[in-house]
Structure 1
Amino acid sequence: MKGRFYFAYKTLNHIILFTLMVFSLSLMFLTFKQEVAVAQDDPESFTWWIVSLQEQNKLEEALVATDEFIHRYNMRWAYSWGYNMKGAIFSQMGEYTKAIYAYQESLRYDDGANEFIMLMNIGDLQHDLGDYTDAISYYEEAIHRLDRNDPRRLWLKMLIEWSGFYLSKGDTVTLKQVYEETNPKLHKIERRLNPFNKGLAYLQASTIAFQLGRFYEAIQLTKTFVNIKNTDSAKLGLAIDLLYLKEEVEANEVFRRIDFRNVSKGSLALWHWLKGDEIQARRNLERYFAEEYSSDVARENAKRIIRKDEILPHDMWKEARKQNWFRELVYPNNTIDYPSENYEKRFEKETQEGIETSTNKNQEKILKDSPTTVFATKYSNVFHKPDCSKMDASEGLIKFDSPQQASEAGYLPCNYCRP
């Protein structure tokens, strides 16, 4: 009898516990829905919700939410902010043609207050595409939109010299000068940035300091960025920097506080590579290209960004570039197994030979076309005159009958040849 009573009592406790758990989960779900609804009723909260989705790498959700934002408020400021946000999301997805169109639309609706931000964003996009000359042109144009005493001009100067660093293939002289000029004034720059751009000046300064070998300064700047943003992506960036510098205990401590659902598989791949786990590095890099980019062009752009970083004085993928699996993933046309000690020189030589051969063949064809004909390369969003020296014909050419046709397709005119 006593045993039956105990069994019934225990069963009743389980039922009550289960009921409480269901009630708690339902309450949490309803609270979350209410918070989202409240966020969507308030424009400022709505924008922060969209930004949080982007920072968690939930890009498709962020796009849907941005479209809803534009549709709901249906005013010039909403169109300007919304299209600028779509440009940032498309850039993150590697969909650069869509990103350029979105930024152009944002500029069209802007009242002039944030024009320099849009120009800077297009500059960032051109930098990612490897069009460093055009990137610098947009950054310089953004500077002209600011008052002479505006400290944000220094932020743009850092971006100009960062693109110039890639354009010069690793010259750090002017990079060092602008860093030393800007670093003491970062707090002034940050005070003038809008809430969505807070922390980015610290991040850029940290990136430059790291490549200049000023590791202690770089880590302190990155920690400041993490404190401002407090996102999992920012924390993973700090953990990777610490791991590269052999500060493994602190790196592991930061890494344990990260929700891996909110970070890019590309960054996770780099973390595992630096940890010495080649299997996880390869698996995450494969997933990065397969899952985070929706088209072949977007995937190629992502690979291009990893390839171009081989000029960095502190290239974290340096040893991986000698591995067959890495070259097959990132350098699809250059998978020959070179001896380690000769890899860098031979790769540079063969790549240059291939470019020269392809360029000569393509230039012969170009010169036969109509004077109004313009060309864009396969993986760039800039169109050029047929004889423009900034056009890399080795990347495959897209022909347009006129500059207007290229613009309508979402391409931007080259700031060098001005077609």
Structure 2
Amino acid sequence: MMKNTFKLSLVCASIFALTACGSDDTDTTYLEEQIQTLEAQNEKLAKEKASVQAESDQYRDQAAELAATNDQLQEKAVGYISNFQEQCAEVGVSFDYENPNPDNPYINNGKTPDMLRALSALPAAAMPSQPADHEGRDNNTCTGCHSAQAPDQHFGENCTSCHTVAEPGPDPEPEPEPDPGAPGVATHPEGATDGDGWAAFDAYTGASAGTFYYAKDNASFLNAEYLNTRFGKMNTFYEWKESSNGTSDVKTACGMPNREHITTMFPDDGKSYELSEYSNFKGAATFITQREENGESIASAATFGPGMHKGEDGEFYVTMLITKNNTCKNLVNNNKGEIHYYEFDTRSNVKLGSPDLGARNAGARIQVSTDYAESELRSFDWFTPVYGGNGQTFDPTTVDWNTVGACSLSLKVEVIYPLG
């Protein structure tokens, strides 16, 4: 019996095993669908990634083009920089140019002289004064200062575009007397009363008479006080000079003392530079003297850098220390000479006028006499007095020139008269 039961159990187990192997529990349809969905999503993401990558490449190319364009524009902008102030502004340091020689508007350190800016303002001086009323004015003149729109709107703060003042003022004050230091106020007007006036001096010196410069437009510095502000005085300039104590960095250079007095661009060559100062005389002083040799009168002309000052006696004196030469001998032996003081600006198109107007020609002629009490003839060491000194006068006829090596001369200004 037990044997039959075992057989039956074995058959049932076999049937169960066969039945289980054929079950639907191993169906993969859902997984396959998920795989297909994920693959589709992955393909979509791949396409989007490719699109984004293409767009990124496009932006990168555009950025590269913009960078190249920016570099070109920057290079072009730098090319427009023409002075030191613009050069400094490019690196974030801003300041304005200041002329180190304010009494000479046309003397400057660069490409943009103050004179050009000053001249641009001159037309304003020709503006008509504002009338006290509108009597006698046609309607067609109204829009010159008023709006055509109703109600009438005056230009307000822009009145000066038509008028020199915004409101009628009191009667103008009489013009003041000329400044005694003005160039044209002659210190020695008596020089112009001799015969044909200043032409008498031209006849004496062989100059071009009164038809050339005389005192027109203050071209001649006839006033001793004014002449004293220029004769022997200097203009100051600045330049970039190679120096181990300097800098090669533009921004550092933009912070140097006196930076505002130069417009010349800082050198961009990697070398070290400092801002160096130098001075030149405002004008040239040529001394004209005479001497006699073998019965003939011989003229001597020499250019020096003398000084000028006002003495305690109120008179003006020209002083200089020079080697023994014909100019010294002639001034000592003849007790007189003439100085041609001349300022010349090659850039100016204004032929005559004072330095304030930027004249091309300006100056004066000066007759001087030798002040023997303040002059010294010195030895060859340029220091030891041989004749004169300590306020002691000397007789020029007794001078042994073989013992003289240098001359410290004091020349009294006798007459200042016009260029000729």
Taking structure 2 as the reference length, what is the TM-score of the superposition?
A: 0.22
More helix by share: 1
Structure with more contact order per residue of length (Cα contacts < 8 Å, sep ≥ 6): 2
Taking structure 1 as the reference length, what is the TM-score of the superposition?
A: 0.22
